[in-house]
A = this chain, B = another copy of it.
Amino acid sequence: MILDATDKKLLFLLQTDSKKTTKELSLKLNLSVTAVYERIKKLEREGIIDKYVVLVNRSKVGKGFVVFCHLKLIQHTKEFITTFENEVIQLTEVIECHHVSGDYDYILKIVVKDMEAYREFLVTKLTMLQHIGSTHSTFMINEVKNTTIVAI
* A→B interface (CB under 8 Å): 1, 3, 11, 14-19, 46-58, 60-63, 66, 68, 85, 88-89, 92-103, 106-107, 111, 138-152
Q: Tell me if A151 and B51 are in contact (CB < 8 A).
A: no
Q: Tell me if B51 and A47 are in contact (CB < 8 A).
A: no
Residues of B within 8 A of A49 (CB): 54-57
Q: Tell me the number of copies of this protein.
A: 2
Q: Tell me if B95 and A141 are in contact (CB < 8 A).
A: no
* Contact among B53, B89, B93, B150 for A63, CB-based, below 8 A: B150
User: Smallest CB-CB separation from A140: which chain B residue?
Assistant: B98
User: Smallest CB-CB separation from A106: which chain B residue?
Assistant: B144
Q: Tell me if B68 and A139 are in contact (CB < 8 A).
A: no
Shortest Cβ distance from residue A122 to the other chain B in the assembled complex, whole angstroms: 16
Shortest Cβ distance from residue A92 to the other chain B in the assembled complex, whole angstroms: 4
A58-B150 contact given A53-B16, A88-B145, CB 8 Å threshold:
yes
